[in-house]
Amino acid sequence: MKNLLIIGAGGVSRVATVKCTMNSDTFSKITLASRTKSKCDEIAAFIKERLGVQIETAQIDADDSNAVVELIKKTGA
């Protein structure tokens, strides 16, 4: 199974994260990251409540390429 990192917590990312979580047998770990971690946490709570799947969240500035590389390494994505 693969680890998945989704960057962004807007409407499209929310739908993509929910859809990926519905296929959690494909992914061993899903991490949702955004500049605003509280948005990620809100989506994670929604997924946990509705689907019973726990996802990880992180804060990231996608404009900071070094931070993105580090997050990719950290999550194994």
Domain 2-75 has CATH 3.40.50.300: no
The domain locations on the chain are 2-75
Q: pTM value? A: 0.90
In tens, the pLDDT along 2-43 reads 999 999 999 999 999 999 999 878 888 999 999 999 999 999
DSSP letters along 30-53, please? EEEEESSHHHHHHHHHHHHHHH--
Task: Please report, as a single letter, which amino acid is at residue 67.
Answer: A
